[in-house]
Amino acid sequence: FTVMRLTKPTLFTNMPVTCEDRDLPGDLFGRLMKEDPSTIKGAEALMLGEMLTLPQNFGNIFLGETFSSYISVHNDSTQEVKDILVKADLQTSSQRLNLSASNNTVTELKPESCIDDVIHHEVKEIGTHILVCAVSYTTQAGEKLYFRKFFKFQTDEVFLEAQIQNITTSPMFMEKVSLEPSMMYNVTELNTVETGDEGTSTFGKMSYLQPMDTRQYLYCLKPKSEFAEKAGVIKGVTVIGKLDIVWKTNLGEKGRLQTSQLQRMAPGYGDVRLSLEMIPDTVNLEEPFDITCKITNCSERTMDLVLEMCNTRSIHWCGVSGRQLGKVSPSASLSLPLKLLSSVQGLQSISGLRLTDTFLKRTYEYDDIAQVCVVCPYMSRES
């Protein structure tokens, strides 16, 4: 079972290693970089190469974007299977959506054959989205089998678009259109284009709004760190701020309009939120490194948590799996230092943490927690 997000490729990045000519390697590293086909000729020391690379994980998806994914079910066995049903659901904080193009069963799937599907969804909610893919089939012996896979991705930031129209019969000079955020948010205006040291308005030099003309203003909102870290504060309906509009008519009369507090339905983080407090940017291959996780109880009940650490193809956890973390009260959090190592070079995704609430026998899985760049040092520490 394979799921791949359909996104545009990015430029390949490498880690250039250089030294001075009088050092022991001499011009060895320089010659190796010049022979590397992924580097730019004449600029081998730049990290950004000229080759394209496909995305290695789901990454972040922003509010308003369309999430597209390719799903493939492949028969790796030597036997033909029958009555194959592939389902793809998207679980958000408020609803579960069926994204499958067809809910009809496939009569048979021969060995080395596959079933392909492409799904699309316009993201309209912020927070964690979980793609739940399930496959059911019948073997030649008549046995009905079923398995599921979960793929999680995160949406970041909130974009507010305000549309302002001049419904009078005379032109208006738009003196100011700003968003005053509430105490929980920081705001960034996206209505200027940076040119050198100064910003130029996207509407041009003239700030006049002709009769019946319309302008659209865009703002980016991010929760302040002190509120984003507190469980339950950003949950539910919250105010995000109010628009302040100031204009002048053609004879200089001044007008001002301030809206009431704008509201949005912000998602929750589920019962248990896991965030990273500390992680290195770059680590050495097959050398243990430390991270610090923060576990927050976002529910209204006390939890008794057990931590399990599951190794992946490239990430290996150091320590005992199945640790008792103890009881965590509502809205309380605990800091958890962990040690792990990577056996594969490149940009690796940290995955494989699982929390279980022993009171309700409920399990929470955390994949793609963060990413770390794994490099292979050209000299060992002993030398």
**Beta-ladder partners of 355:** 307, 364
Report how far Cα 343 is from the mean position of its chain's Cα atoms: 24
- pLDDT for the residue numbered 237: 46
**pLDDT value at position 230?**
53
Question: Considering the entire predicted model, what is its pTM?
Answer: 0.39
Retrieve residue 344's tokens.
């594969």
**Predicted pLDDT at 206:** 74
Q: How high is the pLDDT of residue 383?
A: 37
Cβ-based burial of 374 (10 A; exposed 0-12, middle 13-18, buried ≥19): buried
pLDDT at position 339: 94
HEC letters along the chain: CEEEECCCCEEEECCCCCCCCCCCCCCHHHHHHHHCCCCECCECCCCEEEEEECCCCCCECCCCCEEEEEEEEECCCCCCEEEEEEEEEEECCCCEEECCCCCCCEEEECCCCEEEEEEEEECCCCEEEEEEEEEEEECCCCCEEEEEEEEEEEECCEEEEEEEECCCCCCEEEEEEEEEECCCEEEEECCEEEECCEEEECCCCCCEECCCCEEEEEEEEEECHHHHCCCCCCCEEEEEEEEEEEEEECCCCEEEEECCCEEEEECCCCCEEEEEEECCCEEECCCCEEEEEEEEECCCCCEEEEEEECCCCCEEEECCCCEEEEEECCCCEEEEEEEEEECCCEEEEECCEEEEECCCCEEEEECCCEEEEEECCCCCCCC
Q: pLDDT digit of tens for each residue in the chain (383 aa)?
A: 888 878 777 777 777 777 777 777 777 777 777 777 777 777 777 667 777 676 666 666 776 778 888 888 999 888 999 999 888 888 876 778 888 877 788 889 999 999 988 888 888 776 677 888 888 899 888 888 888 887 766 565 677 888 899 888 888 898 889 999 888 888 988 888 776 667 778 887 778 888 888 888 999 888 777 765 554 455 554 678 899 999 998 778 889 988 888 876 555 556 888 888 888 878 998 899 999 999 988 877 889 999 999 998 889 999 989 999 999 988 788 999 999 999 988 778 888 999 999 988 888 888 878 878 888 875 444 43
Rounded Cα distance, 368 and 366, in Å: 7
User: Could you tell me if 68 and 5 are in contact, meaning their C-beta atoms sit under 8 angstroms apart?
Assistant: yes
**Alpha-carbon distances, residue 345 vs 74, 129, 205, 366 (angstroms):** 28, 28, 50, 22
The Cα 143–Cα 2 span in angstroms is 23
